[in-house]
């Protein structure tokens, strides 16, 4: 038996997206968002929900560009800080010692010390109430030179997940099963 509780966007997992942007004056900023995901495969696109009060919101409208930097457990403190403090009041790269690098394909910085980033151009904005949903087309993926370029590397990086209900970051756990495999037993 089930019961109803308050309507809420209660989802696990959410990703930890650290958005890299330049503000009007060209100052690099990094800010953390967990409301987002993949939006389409072709053209490869991602979604991220941003409140208009966020400093990143202005930068997204101004430059139509952002990077999505995926933090591993090694940078959990930095990722958390990026979500707590506004770029209006702080130079977050200076505070953390991380390095912003100009992207090749879009007008936004990526974070050198994180293993990889998606370089995105804003293609759509959808007003959904408290949040504006930005859709970004992935123009390039930039990765550490040391890693295999197949894309399969991400399973070994220890990229963080976020649980908004318990307000905790988690590392990836054990593999439960292989996709497009374990379900075969139900196919007649």
Residues in the chain: 188
Q: Which two tokens stand for residue 11?
A: 């989802």
For a second copy, the binding residues in 66-95 under the rule CB under 8 A are 68, 70, 73, 76-85, 90, 92, 95
Collapsing DSSP to helix, strand or coil, 1 comes out as coil
Q: Report the site for a second copy in 125-164 (rule: CB under 8 A).
A: 126, 128-131, 133, 135, 138-145, 149, 151-155, 157, 159-164
Considering only the stretches 19-27, 32-40, 59-67, report the one whose residues sit in contact with a second copy under the rule CB under 8 A: 32-40
- Rounded-to-integer distance, Cα 150 and Cα 160, Å: 21
Ramachandran bin of 56, using left for φ above 0, alpha for ψ from -120 to 50, beta for the remaining angles: alpha
Q: Within 35-54, which residues bind a second copy (CB under 8 A)?
A: 35-47, 49
Smallest distance from a second copy to CB 24, Å: 24
- Which residues are within 8 A (CB) of 159 and not within 5 positions of it... i.e. 6 or more apart? 16, 70, 71, 72, 115, 172
Residue 23 or 163: which CB sits closer to a second copy? 163
Owner of token pair 């295999």: 148
Determine if 64 is a binding residue for a second copy (CB under 8 A). Answer: no
- What is the DSSP secondary structure assignment for residue 55, as one 8-state letter? H
Segment interacting with a second copy, rule: CB under 8 A, options 22-30, 57-65, 180-188? 180-188
58 scored as a contact of a second copy (CB under 8 A): no
How near is the Cβ of 20 to a second copy at its closest, in Å?
A: 13
């Amino acid at each position: 038996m089930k019961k109803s509780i308050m309507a809420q966007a209660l989802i696990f997992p959410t990703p930890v997206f650290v958005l890299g942007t330049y503000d009007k004056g060209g100052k690099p900023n990094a800010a953390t968002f967990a409301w987002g995901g993949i939006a389409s495969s072709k053209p490869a696109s991602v979604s991220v929900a941003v409140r208009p009060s966020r400093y990143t919101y202005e930068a997204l409208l101004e430059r139509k560009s952002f990077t999505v930097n995926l933090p591993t457990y090694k940078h959990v403190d930095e990722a958390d800080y990026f979500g707590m403090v506004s770029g209006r009041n702080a130079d977050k790269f200076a505070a953390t010692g991380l390095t912003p690098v100009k992207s090749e394909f879009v007008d936004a910085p990526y974070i050198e010390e994180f293993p990889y980033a998606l370089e995105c151009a804003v293609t759509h904005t959808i007003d959904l109430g408290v949040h504006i949903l930005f859709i970004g087309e992935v123009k390039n993926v930039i990765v550490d030179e040391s890693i295999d370029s197949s894309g399969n590397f991400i399973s070994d990086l220890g990229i963080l997940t976020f649980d908004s209900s318990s307000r905790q970051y988690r590392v990836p756990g054990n593999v439960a099963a292989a996709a497009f495999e374990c379900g075969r037993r139900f196919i007649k």
